[in-house]
Amino acid sequence: MSSLTTSLTHLLGVRTPIISAPMAGASGGALAGAVGQGGGFGFLQAGYNGAEKLKEELETARSTLKVSSLEHAAIGVGFIAWILEEGGPSSFDLLKVPLQNRVKAIWLAFGNDLGRWVSYIRDYDRQRADGHKTIIFVQLSSVEEALTAANDWKVDVLVAQGIESGGHGRASAPPLLTLISSLVEVVPKEGPPIVAAGGLANGAHIAACLTLGASGVAMGTRFLLTPESLYTDAQRKALIAAGPNSTIRTFAFDRARGTLGWPTGIDGRALMNQTVKDLEAGVPIEDVQQAFSQAVQNGDPNRMLVWAGTGVSLMNQVKGAAALVAELHQEAVAHLRRASQIVSAA
């Protein structure tokens, strides 16, 4: 397999700059481990679960990769920071789980004080006897956030999330191509690698981001269409059936399920369905919540939540995560080679 070598692959020690994003309710140890097997880097999401569940998922990842320790494995854990902020002392117990397991990376997003958690991780690492240093990813959607993360918090990786992204994100985020171009202008080459995220579906998209100056990509929706993801068959079928205009940015699903702690300005992109339509039509929230809860129990995608980015219509099959990483890598290599032929000697 031809290599794609960037500052990100050097930092993570992986063969390809493809990352599976941490997705609550979708990214468990099996998916993260399979992505690592394929040569990429896999994140599992701590989400709304407690420490014991996170330990189970890390054990699944370790077993999938057939390693005795996660210290050198291509595995990371993502945290929704506002959940940590609301969790009190138990939040530190949760954050200690990946730190005690010496995972390679932690991804922080959606907090009112991300710097607090960056400092906690750095302080924890400084007290280690073995010298292990956790690689810290911070998700952002503006130049201002990037400069704070790079200059003040000294994080290791900047995840640039564009408006096209599925799942939660900043409602005012610029399109991904604009965001990457803006960050490349202000983040020095020796600074943190930039990872592009938002609406990416195939190797052509990966190649485009790399030529813009990103050092890697994080893909979410594409990895939902793997047998290793925690999505149901009904949710996968809904993704495959989706068209180019099937997604919507909305807070409707958070209202329906009662997850209301998100920072100001955050909403989510998902497949449009009856839950959104009912709320927009003024159906009482109690009725919407009851119908949503019933849909979750019945596995009904016409009302249940199916997160998806804008590239979903370009995805048409379920494929094993390791094989998918290899396929995306080869597609990206082919597109980069094709693009290089456009340039000729004067």
Is residue 35 assigned to a domain? yes
Per DSSP, the three-state class of 275 is helix
* CATH, residue 135: 3.20.20.70
- Residue 303 in domain: no
- Which stretches of the chain drop beneath a pLDDT of 50? none
Considering the entire predicted model, what is its pTM? 0.96
Q: How many CB atoms lie within 10 A of CB 288?
A: 21
Residue 165 belongs to a domain: yes
For residues 164 and 309, is the Cβ–Cβ distance under 8 A? Answer: yes
Specify the 3-state DSSP secondary structure of 269.
Answer: strand
DSSP-assigned states of every residue in 280-299: HTT--HHHHHHHHHHHHHHT
Same-domain check for residues 77 and 194: yes
pLDDT of residue 279: 97
Give the pLDDT confidence score for residue 239 in this predicted structure.
98
Please report whether residue 38 resides in a domain: yes
Q: Is 107 helix (H, G, I), strand (E, B) or coil?
A: strand
- Whether residue 308 is contained in a domain is answered as no
CA distance 247 to 273: 9
Residues 226 and 244 occupy one common structural domain: no
Residue 280 has a pLDDT of: 96
Q: Is 92:131 a contact under the CB 8 Å cutoff?
A: no
Co-location of 135 and 221 in the same domain:
yes
Residues 88 and 105 in one domain: yes
For 30-47, letters b (16+ CB in 10 Å) and e give: bbbbbbbbbbbbbbbbbb
Best CA proximity match to 180, nearest among 164, 202, 191, 196: 196
Same domain (yes/no): 171, 267: no
The strands making up 266-271's β-sheet, listed across from edge to edge, are 167-170, 266-271, 247-250
Closest CA to 294 of 258, 320, 256: 256
What dihedral angle (degrees, nearest 10) is formed by the CA atoms of 34, 36, 40, 42?
80
Number of Cα atoms under 13 Å in the Cβ half of residue 205: 22
pLDDT at 221: 99
- Residue 257, in any domain of the structure: yes
Indicate whether 310 belongs to any domain.
Answer: no
Give the three-class secondary structure for 106.
Answer: strand
Alpha helices in the chain (DSSP H): 7-12, 29-37, 51-65, 81-86, 89-100, 114-126, 143-147, 176-186, 203-212, 221-224, 233-241, 252-257, 274-280, 285-298, 321-340
Instruction: Establish if 188 belongs to a structural domain.
Output: yes
In a shared domain, residues 120 and 258: no
The pLDDT of residue 37 is: 97
| Residues 169 and 278 reside in one and the same domain | no
Long-range pairs for 335-339 at CB < 8 Å and ≥24 separation? 335/203, 335/204, 335/206, 335/207, 335/208, 336/4, 336/207, 336/210, 336/211, 339/207, 339/211
Whether 209 and 286 map to the same domain: the answer is no
d(CA 192, CA 182): 15
**Number of domains forming the structure of the chain:** 2
If asked whether residues 280 and 335 sit together in one domain, one would say no
Residues 100 and 48 in one domain: yes
* Residues β-bridged to residue 307: 270
- Per DSSP, 76 falls in state E
Q: Could you tell me if 218 and 256 lie in one domain?
A: no
Please tell me whether residues 215 and 265 are part of one structural domain: no
Domain encompassing residue 34: 16-231+315-340
